[in-house]
Structure 1
């Protein structure tokens, strides 16, 4: 299977230009040059940098320079420390993976889609010439399966727009169910040789999202271990109403073992091999409610599968956002854990 060269080991910078405060004080201090130096010291080759339209545009679509100033600065820092950058459009006007953002209408409104294409035209003109160290991710996490045909059509048009100015920049593309690996087969076949298929992995969800306040069915005091007892996962899913999460269904009665992620990735790998496309995991990680030693074990096992298949990846998240690897709670394991990013 192809490799996404230069994007094999990275971390996400969530909470800075996306999913955080848009106040200048926050934007000036949340991520600094020292953070980029630290990430490079972890042996990473790239960062995934989520961005929201709010920092770059008004709701009326007028450009703001603030966002570009921060993005340009990030690219300068990363160049200095030999880190590549995946620019990930996390939220556009009319759509966000998080329904609480109040963004809607994108998939059924041609005007909003044209604004999306214009946004990518601007990004492509500005950063497409940096294709030796910059890649583009079209849109973070399409949610519903029913949106798949619309998303394929929109993605195709956006890629065509980008290709006018950036013929060889790598373009990262995910499918529905929040970039589920199980949805990769429903993506259209790659537009060209510079398309990368993207998925996110938070399996098993009961472990990685234990106590998550934003998951409606999840009790905030719920805790479970990893690898844990598979019966506990099955019973907990029923008790909480989280039976829609199916990542534990095919696990044998003996429970999770080091081959779990290899098996979990197998179908996605087959799709990518068949279509001769590289594979990338743009997000994976464990919530800060879990035991750090169990988080370390989880990272070891998922990393083994990434390396076996040559899958590039970026861990969620470098700092805070309920998953922060650099947070104080991880101090006892981080020196070892960075070997398994």
Structure 2
């Protein structure tokens, strides 16, 4: 029988979102499985009537074979300075709409604080908002299938040493109400695999998931991207040669070794190749990164559903099938 109402979907989601009786953080990480980043730059946060992402997309994501969604949150512009940075009701309404619809369809959810640029440019000026955000999120009751990610890609003036202090303060707020909820944390320098040794996680916390992002080589993955100064550099191939694949394997083995020594599961929170790269090369690269992550038992989330690096074409109202097939191979 096919559910026909949101209420039915919510009941189904509550059944799927049962507490993790006896589950450890490695089991919880497995629930993330294959995921996709959503809603980060959607007008939905300014005006629900202008949203690109619609309720039906949650089911499309689930039916395609994804297990989780990473919701990219930019809450700072929706916080009131005069009310101790309280988040506005309309922002909460949109967030609860997204979480309810995702969990109702059996998708595990990551609430990802994506204010990395604002914080990186002025850490001191934004720390109060960072801490207030996690106080407010932590004060809510969430299904067990909702995970927290303290901050996407700590960078720039938020140095590794400063980030190590911030993450402890944020984690203390979360753990006051959510002692067992998975919290996702990665290194400074944009969650780079090359800066893991500077990340200092509290070893006593056994509900942490390590995250890294992977876009190497940037000359390929960000070709044509104006924000990286590569708008005029296009046509760069990625053939999947032994040398190219070994570079990925060496980076991933380094991450796996770091995590193994600390008994942490790994979540590859972002990877992809910009839309102006040759499609065949994008497919080869994305397929290789996804399979190498899976070979090490990692969960992952592709960047991103729509906007750029897309796996869903809003104009065509259809999957970008070669990218989807690279991420989730069709059943044979």
TM-score range, shorter chain: 0.7 to 0.9
Q: Is the 8 A contact 2:310 2:320 kept in 1?
A: no
Q: Which moved more, 1:164-173 or 1:28-37?
A: 28-37
Closer/same/farther in 2, CA of residues 84 and 55 from structure 1, 3 Å limit: farther
1:24 and 2:13 matched: no
Structure 1 Cα separation of the partners of residues 92 and 77 of structure 2: 8
Q: Is the 8 A contact 1:280 1:312 kept in 2?
A: yes
> 1:43 aligns to what?
65
Structure 2 Cα separation of the partners of residues 207 and 193 of structure 1: 37
Q: Is the 8 A contact 1:135 1:170 kept in 2?
A: yes
1:324 and 2:324 matched: no
Q: Is the 8 A contact 2:311 2:321 kept in 1?
A: no
> 1:101 aligns to what?
none
Closer/same/farther in 2, CA of residues 305 and 34 from structure 1, 3 Å limit: same
Q: Is the 8 A contact 2:70 2:109 kept in 1?
A: yes
With the length of structure 2 as denominator, give the TM-score of the two structures. Answer: 0.82
Residue 268 of structure 2, aligned match among 251, 264, 281 = 281
Q: Is the 8 A contact 1:56 1:65 kept in 2?
A: no
Residue 88 of structure 2, aligned match among 64, 89, 99 = 64
Residue 161 of structure 1, aligned match among 173, 186, 189 = 173
> 1:337 aligns to what?
326
Structure 2 Cα separation of the partners of residues 73 and 193 of structure 1: 30
> 1:233 aligns to what?
none
1:267 and 2:279 matched: no
Please report how far the alpha carbon of residue 228 of structure 1 lies from its aligned counterpart in structure 2 after TM superposition. 7.2
Q: CA RMSD in A?
A: 2.6
Please report how far the alpha carbon of residue 53 of structure 1 lies from its aligned counterpart in structure 2 after TM superposition. 1.6
Cα deviation 1:53-91 (Å, max 9, x = unaligned): 245413552431111111101111112210010000011
Residue 10 of structure 1, aligned match among 35, 38, 41 = 35
Q: Structure 1, unaligned stretches of length 5 or more?
A: 98-103, 230-253
Q: Is the 8 A contact 2:210 2:264 kept in 1?
A: yes
Residue 256 of structure 1, aligned match among 232, 244, 249 = 244
Does 1 or 2 have the higher relative contact order (CA < 8 Å, sep 6+)? Answer: 1
Aligned residues: 299
With the length of structure 1 as denominator, give the TM-score of the two structures. Answer: 0.80
Cα deviation 1:133-188 (Å, max 9, x = unaligned): 00000011112487111110111011011111111111111111110012122211
Q: Structure 2, unaligned stretches of length 5 or more?
A: 1-24
> 1:105 aligns to what?
122
